Amino acid sequence: MAYFYIKALHIIFIVTWFAGLFYMVRLFVYSAEANNKSEPERSILLKQFALMQKRLWYGITWPSAILTLIFGTWIGILYGSLPSWLLVKLFFVLGLFIYHLSLQSIFNQQKKENFKWTSQRLRMWNEVATLFLIAIIMLAVVKELLSVVWGIVVLIAFTFLLLLAIKIYKKYRKD
């Protein structure tokens, strides 16, 4: 019985972690764009976005990531064994955590008003979380039924569609 409560908590914190990751990069985009504005608008926006980033990052995103890992590990312990699909999923979770740490680096840069990433590059980087989300959820739900070949084909096709959508959006935004 405890397994299902732990699994529910794990899923809840996965959702809040991803929500934090997605919104954090949007705030990075807004900050990068605000940095190009003239004063006093620039300072006002950067101050507000910095406050929003800090609250989101330390109040939601980091705690959700940690609780996701705690409840996921607990599920793994209760599950007992590590089937092959779970090992592949854990590989993607590791990649997601590395992505999370890359956002920490961007967060630290923007705190110092050091904007190395353009808004367009940040928009593309935001889609990396989408790819991790798809891979992790597909592995968690479909498990052994997921063909490695079809999984890779779908992931590549979805990546292509995301890049195409970003390119179309960029063109639409300029017009």
Which token pair is 163?
């890049």
Q: State pTM to two decimals.
A: 0.85
Give the pLDDT of residue 57: 98
Reply yes or no on whether the pLDDT at 100 is more than 70. yes
Q: Which amino acid is at 98?
A: I
The DSSP element (H or E) to which 145 belongs, if any, is: none
* Contact of 63 with 9, CB cutoff 8 Å: no
pLDDT of residue 171: 77
CB contact at 8 A, 69 and 9: no
Q: Would you state the pLDDT for residue 12?
A: 97
- For tokens 């809840």, name the residue: 12
Count of CB atoms within 10 A of residue 154's CB?
A: 15
Q: What pLDDT band is residue 145 in, cutting at 50, 70 and 90?
A: low
Contact 60, 54 (CB under 8 A): no
> Residue ranges per domain, the chain?
2-174
Q: For residue 124, name the pLDDT band (cuts at 50, 70, 90).
A: confident
The DSSP output letter for 38 is: P
Question: CA-to-CA distance for 136 and 42, rounded, in angstroms?
Answer: 38
- Please tell me the distance from the alpha carbon of residue 119 to that of residue 69, in angstroms, as a whole number: 30
pLDDT for the residue 107? 97
Q: Give per-residue pLDDT as tens, 11-62.
A: 999 999 999 999 999 999 999 999 999 999 999 999 999 999 999 999 999 9
- Residue 89, annotated as binding a ligand: yes
What pLDDT is recorded for position 69? 96
Q: In the numeric block, which tokens belong to residue 27? A: 């705030």
pLDDT score, position 144: 62
Two structure tokens written together for 52: 């929003």
Q: Where does residue 140 rank: exposed (0-12), middle (13-18), buried (19+ CB within 10 A)?
A: middle
Report the pLDDT value the prediction gives residue 66, as an integer from 0 to 100. 98
Q: Give the pLDDT confidence of 148-175 residue by residue, as tens digits.
A: 666 677 777 777 787 777 777 777 776 5
Mean pLDDT across the chain, nearest whole number? Answer: 89
d(CA 34, CA 44): 9
pLDDT for 150? 65
Distance (Å, whole) CA 99 – CA 158 = 18
